[in-house]
Structure 1
Amino acid sequence: MIFDGHQIIKGIDLDVKDREFVVFVGPSGCGKSTLLRLIAGLEDVTSGSIELDGREITQVTPAKRDLAMVFQTYALYPHMTVGKNLSFALDLAGTPKAEVKKKVDEAARILELGPLLERKPKQLSGGQRQRVAIGRAIVRNPKIFLFDEPLSNLDAALRVQTRLELSRLHKELQATMIYVTHDQVEAMTLADKVVVLNGGRVEQVGSPLELYHHPANLFVAGFLGTPKMGFLKGIISGVEASACEVTLDAGTKVLLPFTNAQQSVGDSVTLGIRPEHLELANEGDCQLTVIADVSERLGSDTYCHVRTTSGEPLTMRIRGDLASQYGETLKLHLNSAHCHLFDAQGQVIRRALQAAA
């Protein structure tokens, strides 16, 4: 897609399967909402095509695409009751009254809106308004539900509750859903398939756990996960048939089971490790010296924020009844089985077994 002379969406080739819950996730300005609007027909496609059930819909008007979109801002009619908001599109289309009532009652049952049907939007909470907006989509029985950051206006507790309701709704309706969010927690918890976008390009597509455990590049590795993956700069100081030695800027040498024909001694690399895989070192372990910064105690877990001697920040997740002391020197163990390695261009370097597969 080109807008004002600039290419906004760049060569995206994507397949969404029937009944799949697909989440577009990425930072602000990455093109995720634009991509959703292209699917909905709210933006013009300047090259390429969009198909639905084998039918070309690139030039089909939004009203005839058999899609239903739920917006961040609810888009409810303030002068109408909840019931009228739910039935409005059906009434406008001339749907028989008995069928309208049946569909409204079913949507109200699914979303637990029965007691609210005679209320107006101003009498509802944010979460209830969002459920009404979703109900307006349900009564249309579309081929695909499109959600554009539907939880952004809700507080933290309501986001969790509504997220659970959306997951249950997907399972109950057995519907195809495409969902846009900047929140990687929503992406990880809701999706069958996650599409990570950055700068109008797809960085990686896969299941939530596939992307979490096997990120294709530094961007995906750093974007998914809370707290985020820690990164340590270094160079390759030795290469073997099925392993390489990395000397970190922080002063530690690590032998890793990675191989890549393009890697040579002296090449710059980045080692990545997640907070749950960092642990205090035992005698004989590969040790990384760090200085403790602040600790965040969450009850079940504690997040210890530390810095290496070269100034790189890391986060370690430990038991909730433990915490480090500010300024304390710690020795951490880098378990090679849980380390990720990226080349100078930010692309993942595969493990030896992956390379041989």
Structure 2
Amino acid sequence: MSTAALLTLVRSGGNQVRRRVLLRARGLQDDRWVTPTCHSSTSEPRWSRFDSDGSGRPATWDNFGIWDNRLEEPILLPPSIKYGKPIPKVSLQNVGSASQIGKRKENEDRFGFAQLTNEILYFAVYDGHGGPAAADFCHTHMEKCILDLLPKEENLETVLTLAFLEIDKTFARHAHLSADATLLTSGTTATVALLRDGIELVIASVGDSRAILCRKGKPMKLTIDHTPERKDEKERIKKCGGFVAWNSLGQPHVNGRLAMTRSLGDLDLKTSGVIAEPETKRIKLHHADDSFLVLTTDGINFMVNSQEICDFVNQCHDPNEAAHAVTEQAIQYGTEDNTTAVVVPFGAWGKYKNSEITFSFSRSFASSGRWA
């Protein structure tokens, strides 16, 4: 797409943009209308954003490479010119979130999302264990730590890695200076996403909270759980002098205590190979195909698989409803853990739906034994 055509698309503000603007930029001719929204004076015909030419054929942003997601967000001009295709703005107002205590005495999950700079958005979930202290610390300080690193480092994967390590060191200093000895055994998972220019998505994660991208209605896992079941993780634990023991449910734990091999906090297990260095992943969004990013804690992940999460979210009208639907579904399936979900809508929001979702009473009954 030429810069001139892109400028025309954005300046129109969604009002009476003809497809011929783009086609002429390529030396083609086409008289069909495509832009969804049109506001006109009383002397001009009024156009519907779903039927711009009155032909009965709905018009969508697919013609421009993104879907008409009904969120009515503007196009980001500088990134669209930079990448040569329209990039819709991801607004924090449309981000959905939900967190439920389940049957636990306390909700140790934390989550957050924020606009860090004009170009970068932040989304995160933290699942605390051994008390909420470590999750609270990350929730309070991670944003500022990332902000301090951004002017010094262009690579967002490096930024997140440095931020995780710095937060872990800072929490260790805080815990050792505190009179509260329980801080030494408090820890948390951390799954943090940064979105730059509405198109560059970078994920960093420790523990077993997850990030899933829904592309063409199918889940794309952006994180891998850090558990002793992974051969590489188990070998590191053993090399550092730690050991893996299985509980009565057949679940492996580091030194018989921790179900994950990487975390923030858990200071008493640092010498046993539990590290704070995250695994990272970078991906370029395709707004014509990508519906949403969802961050979830293990109270959801142990009960609802990735495809089911995509299907539940795709049935919902808005991301906030979707976040609540996912957390509540996990509870219906039998989880007793805290459940937290953050849903970030992208260009293809509402494009892929699956009407064949059924509730499994047998799984719900069977899964209840997991927490016995």
**TM-score relative to the length of structure 2:** 0.27
Q: Comparing both chains, which one has the higher relative contact order based on Cα–Cα distances under 8 Å and sequence gaps of 6 or more?
A: 2
**TM-score relative to the length of structure 1:** 0.28
Give the structure with the higher percent helix.
2
